[in-house]
Amino acid sequence: MPTQTNDYELPVTQDKRSRLKWFGIAVLSAIVVISAFVCFIHIKNEETSLHQRLEKQQTLLATAHLETISNWLQTMAEQGDRLINADLFRLFASEVDLLGDNIGSLYAEEASESEDSSLAQQLPMMRNLLEEFSSYAGFSDGRIINRFGQTYIATNANVAALTQSQLNMVNSVLENPKVYFSTVHNSSNGLVFDMFLPIFPPEFEGEYTKPISVLMLTKIVSGKITEIISSSPLAEQGNKTHLVQKQDGVLQDILPWKPEGIAPINSDFGAVEQEVLPFALRASLTGNTQGYSYGLKVPDVNWWVIEEIGYETARKELTETMQTTIVIAALATGAFTLVLFLFWWLLVSQDNKKVADNFRELAMTIKEQKMFLDSINDTIPDYIALKDNEGIYQYVNPAFANAVGRGVEEMIGLDDTAIFGYATANRLASSDQIINMSEEPMNITETIYLQSQRYIMQISKAPFFDGEGTLAGIVSVFRDITAAVEAEEQRKQAEQQTITALASTIEHIDPYLGGHTRMLESISVELAKSLNMTDADISTIEAAANLSQIGKLFVPREILLKPGALTAEEKAEMEKHALHAKKVLGNIEFGLPVLETVTQMNEKMDGSGYPEHLKGDDIIPPAKLLGLTNTFCALIRPRAYRPALSVANAFDILKEMENFYDPEMIAALERLLNTRFGEDFIEEVNAT
C-alpha cells in the first residue's frame, strides 16, 4: 500500500514562502499607511480644536477689554460735557470770540474799553472754575483755546505752546464738532493723553452752530491702562493683552509699567488698518517669534486692543499630543510587525517537523509574546493589576508597586484594604461586585491616597476569564487624572469669575441694576432647589442669572435710564436686548442651555412675551423660573420711572400675572419667602 502523507507535514515550498513574504509585506504596508493616516487626521483635528478655542478666548478677552476702555473714555467725555455745557463758560467763550485773534487785552492790567475790562476781571474766576473742575475730575491739566489756536484759559501758569499734533486736533474739532482723543505720549508725570471737546455759543446767538472754542483736558493714564490690560483669569497661560496706538503711521505698544512707556511694534507684525484684526498666526508684537493674535479697534481713537499668545506656548499641549500619538502608532505598528514576523517564521520553520514540534514551537512563541507584553506592562506609567475572585492581588506592574511604595513581590497576596485602607477598599468592592454579577467591564473615578498623597484615578475594570471561560478575577487599570481634574476645576472657576466680571460690567451702565444680578442669582437658585430641579438646571439658572442683563449693554442709555414711560418705538428698541444677548453669547460653548434660558426668560406663558412669542411648554423650565424671579426683583427694586414696591405689593401684582408665569412657581416663591431664607432676603431688600 502506498504511504499516505499528511499535508500539514509537507515542507513549505519556496514559492509558498515567497507568497507568504509578499503577503506579509503588503499587510504591513497597509497597517503603516492606515496608522499614518489616522495619526494625521487626529493631529489635524486637535490643531483645529486648538485654533477654535484660542480664537473664542481671545475674542472674548478683546471684547471685554474694549468695553472697559470705551466705558472709561465715555465717562471722561461725559465729565467734560458737564463743563462745556455750562452757560457761564459758553457765554464767556462767546465774548472772547468777539475779540478775534487779538486777545492781549484779556491780560492787560488796565483795559482801555469797558467790555475788555469786564472780560479781564472775569478771567481769574473762569480759570479757578477750570482748575477746580480739572482737579475734581482727575485731569492733570486743562486749557481753553479759541478758533485761532490761542490759549486764553489754562490751569497751568507756565502753559506751553500747543504742539502741531494738538493744533491739528483743535482744527479737527472746529471743522467736525465732536469729542476727540489724542494718542498717548510721555510726560514728566508718566503717560498722558489729551481730550478735545467743542464749546458752542449760547443758544440765543441765532443759527450760528460752529464751535467758538475748544476745551483741551490732559489725563495721566499710566495706572488706568495698566489696570485695564492686566491679565484676566480667563486668559490662557502665556496670553498677553496689548494696547497699541498708531502715531504718524507707526504702530506703538503702550507699556506704562516700563521706563520707556511707549515702544515701537515689531515691523514684521504688519499693518493694522481695519476695525478688526482677524485671528491668525503672525509675527509677534514685541519679538522675533510668532504668535496667535486677535485685535479690535477702540472707536474714535487710534487704539487697538490686541490679544497675543506665543506660538510655542499655545501649541505646547498639541505638541505633547502629537508626540504621544506618534509613539502609540509606532508601538502598535512595531507590535504588529513582530506578530507578522513571528507568524511567518513559525510557518516557514515547520518544513520537516511533526505536529508535536509545532505545538512546542507555538508554546515558545506564546512565551515570547508574554515576555513582550510583560515588558510593555513594565514600562507603561498606568497602574495595572489582576485580582482573583477573593480580591487578592495576583499580578501588579512595577508602576503600581512603585506608587504604593512596595516591591512587586510584596504586593502579591495583599488585598485592597492592605493597600488603600478600609474606606477606599469598601468603595472599590462595590464596583467589583457589579462586575462579578454582570461579567461586563466598567469605568469608575475614585479618589485614593498612596504614600499620604492624594490621587484622582480613572479606573477601568474588566472581568478576567480562564481558559475554560470561567470568571477568574478582575483586571484593573488605574490612570492618574489628578492634573486634568484640577485643571478643569480651575477652568470652571475662571469661567465663573469671568461671568461675574461681565455681570458687574452690565450693572455699571445702569445705576438701577446695581445689586440686581446678585439678588436675582440668590433667590433663583434657592427657588430652583425648593422645586427639586436637577443640578444641571440649577447650574444653568446660576450662570444665566449673571448674564441675564448682558443685552442691555447695547440698548441706548437714554432709553435705559428714561424716567418716564417708554414710547412704542422705545419699548421695541428695549426689547431687542434679548436678541443682543443671543448674538453676544451665541458663540460661547457653555455645555448647558444658558443661551436658551437668557433668550427665553422674557417670554410669557400666554405668548405675549418676546423675542419669539413662545408660550406654555415651549419655554424651558429654567427660563420660566428666571423670568418670574427677574420680574419679582425688578418690582421690589427702584427704577428710573418708579420707586421700589414692597414685597406684599409685588406679590399682589404677580398673582394678577398668572397668565404670564407658571402658577406653581409663583406659589413656590411665596412659600420660599416665608422660610428663614426668605426672611433674611426681605430684610436685606429693606436695608437697601
Confidence of residue 1 (pLDDT cuts 50, 70, 90): very low
Closest-CA residue to 254 (of 285, 300, 279): 285
CA 315 to CA 594: how far, in whole Å? 30
Confidence of residue 8 (pLDDT cuts 50, 70, 90): very low
pLDDT of 661 > 90? The answer is yes
Q: Is the dihedral of CA 632, 633, 636, 637 positive or negative?
A: negative
- Considering the chain, what is the average pLDDT of its residues? 82
Confidence of residue 491 (pLDDT cuts 50, 70, 90): low
Confidence of residue 179 (pLDDT cuts 50, 70, 90): very high
pLDDT of 672 > 70? The answer is yes
Closest-CA residue to 305 (of 248, 216, 235): 235
CA 543 to CA 500: how far, in whole Å? 9
Closest-CA residue to 241 (of 227, 251, 220): 227
Least confident stretch, 153-157, 274-278, 317-321, 346-350: 346-350
Closest-CA residue to 542 (of 528, 556, 531): 528
- Cis ω for the linkage preceding 611 (within 30 of 0): yes
CATH class of 85-224: alpha beta
pLDDT of 468 > 50? The answer is yes
User: What is the pLDDT averaged over residues 589-608?
Assistant: 92
Higher pLDDT, 440 or 4: 440
Q: What is the pLDDT of residue 27?
A: 81
Query: Crossing angle, helix 316-348 and helix 14-84, to 10 degrees?
Result: 170
The pLDDT tens digits of the residues spanning 393-426 come to 988 888 888 888 888 888 898 998 888 888 888 8
Q: Is the dihedral of CA 277, 278, 282, 287 positive or negative?
A: positive
In sequence order, which residues have a C-beta less than 8 Å from that of residue 612 and are 6 or more positions away?
599, 600, 603
The grid cell for 28 is: 504591513
| % of residues, the chain, pLDDT over 90 | 21
Confirm if 218 and 204 have CB atoms less than 8 A apart: no
Q: What is the pLDDT of residue 343?
A: 67
> What residue has cell string 481558559?
467
The grid cell for 433 is: 461586585
Confidence of residue 352 (pLDDT cuts 50, 70, 90): very low
What DSSP assignment string belongs to 398-414? HHHHHHHTS-HHHHTT-
pLDDT of 613 > 50? The answer is yes
- Assigned CATH topology for domain 485-687: Hypothetical protein af1432 (1.10.3210)
Q: What is the pLDDT of residue 332?
A: 78
Instruction: Reduce the DSSP state of residue 220 to 3 states and report it.
Output: strand
The pLDDT tens digits of the residues spanning 77-98 come to 988 888 888 888 888 888 888 8
* H/E element, 353: none
In sequence order, which residues have a C-beta less than 8 Å from that of residue 27 and are 6 or more positions away?
340
In sequence order, which residues have a C-beta less than 8 Å from that of residue 659 and are 6 or more positions away?
604, 605, 606
User: What is the pLDDT averaged over residues 275-304?
Assistant: 87
CA 687 to CA 681: how far, in whole Å? 10
Confirm if 602 and 571 have CB atoms less than 8 A apart: no
Confidence of residue 505 (pLDDT cuts 50, 70, 90): low
Q: Lay out the sheet containing 290-298: strands in order across.
A: 261-264, 250-255, 239-247, 303-310, 290-298, 276-283
The pLDDT tens digits of the residues spanning 210-266 come to 899 999 999 998 888 888 887 665 555 778 888 998 888 888 888 888 888 888 888
CA 513 to CA 550: how far, in whole Å? 11
The pLDDT tens digits of the residues spanning 622-642 come to 999 999 999 999 888 876 667
CA 197 to CA 73: how far, in whole Å? 13
Q: What is the pLDDT of residue 5?
A: 41
Side chain identity at residue 369, one-letter code: Q
Side chain identity at residue 468, one-letter code: E
Closest-CA residue to 365 (of 404, 397, 336, 339): 339
CA 409 to CA 681: how far, in whole Å? 63
- Cis ω for the linkage preceding 233 (within 30 of 0): no
Least confident stretch, 312-316, 439-443, 460-464: 312-316
Q: Is 485-687 the same fold as 85-224?
A: no
CA 270 to CA 75: how far, in whole Å? 33
The grid cell for 602 is: 422674557
Residue 285, Cβ density class (10 Å: 0-12 exposed, 13-18 middle, ≥19 buried): buried
pLDDT of 109 > 70? The answer is no
Distance from the Cα of residue 144 to its chain's centroid: 44
Least confident stretch, 6-10, 328-332, 610-614: 6-10
Q: Pinpoint the alpha helices (H) of 276-392.
A: 311-314, 316-348, 355-379
| % of residues, the chain, pLDDT over 70 | 84
What is the length of the chain? 688
Confidence of residue 355 (pLDDT cuts 50, 70, 90): very low
Instruction: Reduce the DSSP state of residue 263 to 3 states and report it.
Output: strand
Q: What is the pLDDT of residue 233?
A: 58
pLDDT of 304 > 70? The answer is yes
pTM: 0.47
CA 332 to CA 180: how far, in whole Å? 66
User: What is the pLDDT averaged over residues 646-666?
Assistant: 90
Higher pLDDT, 134 or 687: 134
Would you kindly state where each structural domain of the chain is located, as residue ranges?
A: 85-224, 380-480, 485-687
Calculate the CA dihedral of residues 227, 228, 231, 233 and round it to 10 degrees.
100
Q: What is the pLDDT of residue 344?
A: 65
- Assigned CATH topology for domain 380-480: Beta-Lactamase (3.30.450)
User: What is the pLDDT averaged over residues 501-519?
Assistant: 64
